């Protein structure tokens, strides 16, 4: 049987990248899907492929909008019958050294990445509490686990998402609700390309690729696979976890010794 059969998954940031990949994988596992994003999904992307497989409903809006979050959950329940899984995938990049980052930029990154996760979790939790079950998967980052030069706002927002995840796991575990975070390494998404394919960042991009022990960047579907696991009954004893899916990025560092041993 499909791992998410007879369930409804609500996914933010569902138009592209990791969110769209989550929608497709969850649809493949039998879940009806609701998507939310600032933009409409492309007609030939993962969301469209997912919507062709299962009942689906897509809404546009800003995850920072409290009223829109509440309305999104209400529409999902009305159209699809409930909310069993929430994937908070909407996010933006941004940052800079603290002395140079504008307050407006700090607020933008924190509001999308952290406030958006909070608002959609808060809007969804009453439904999960009423039914006595649910799974929330927050998309954090390896940059929420360890620092990354120039990443002040982004790192702070994703670190906060991880701690929020753990707090919600504590608060709601006895009510049948599991809350986990998946922490991607550097994944080839439109957001990644917008940042690292700009002029002058070629060497930086290569250095980051080399920092992954598998020697490559990740793919959105590899993060979606982890999200499906965390949302499914296969993870029924997993809550409060920040799961790195990072090609070994957080495993440690390479200094050339493996090459001397004939391993690289």
Catalytic residues: 154
Query: Which of 59, 151, 159 has the alpha carbon at shortest distance from 117?
Result: 159
Decide: residue 257, CB within 10 A, 0-12 exposed, 13-18 middle, 19+ buried: exposed
In angstroms, what CA-CA distances link 227 with 83, 123, 197, 245, 254?
A: 16, 20, 27, 10, 29
| Helices of type H across the chain | 17-28, 46-51, 66-80, 103-110, 116-131, 152-172, 190-196, 202-211, 220-231, 257-260
Q: What's 249's DSSP letter?
A: T
CA atoms within 13 A on the CB side of 149: 3
d(CA 210, CA 27): 33
The CB density around residue 30, as the number of other CB atoms within 10 Å, is 16
d(CA 28, CA 22): 10
SS3 state of residue 94: coil
């Amino acid at each position: 049987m499909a791992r998410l059969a007879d369930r409804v998954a609500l996914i933010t940031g569902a138009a592209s990248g990791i969110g769209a990949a989550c929608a497709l994988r969850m649809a493949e596992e039998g879940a009806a899907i609701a998507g939310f994003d600032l933009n409409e999904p492309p007609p030939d992307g993962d969301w469209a492929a997912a919507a062709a497989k299962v009942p689906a409903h897509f809404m546009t809006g800003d995850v920072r909008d409290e009223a829109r979050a509440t309305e999104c959950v209400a529409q999902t329940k009305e159209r699809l019958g409930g909310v069993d899984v929430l994937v908070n995938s909407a996010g933006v990049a941004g940052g800079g050294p603290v002395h140079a980052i504008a307050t407006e930029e700090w607020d933008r990154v924190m509001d999308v990445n952290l406030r958006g996760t909070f608002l959609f979790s808060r809007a969804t939790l009453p439904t999960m509490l009423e039914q006595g079950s649910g799974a929330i998967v927050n998309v954090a980052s390896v940059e929420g686990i360890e620092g990354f030069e120039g990443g002040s706002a982004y790192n702070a927002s994703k670190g906060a998402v991880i701690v929020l995840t753990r707090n919600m796991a504590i608060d709601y575990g006895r009510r049948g609700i599991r809350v986990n975070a998946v922490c991607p390494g550097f994944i080839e998404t439109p957001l990644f390309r917008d940042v690292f394919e700009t002029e002058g960042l070629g060497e930086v991009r290569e250095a980051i690729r080399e920092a992954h022990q598998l020697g490559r960047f990740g793919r959105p579907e590899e993060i979606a696979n982890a999200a499906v696991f965390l949302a499914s009954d296969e993870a029924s004893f997993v809550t409060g976890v920040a799961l790195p899916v990072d090609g070994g990025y957080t495993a440690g560092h390479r200094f050339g010794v493996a090459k001397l041993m004939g391993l690289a």
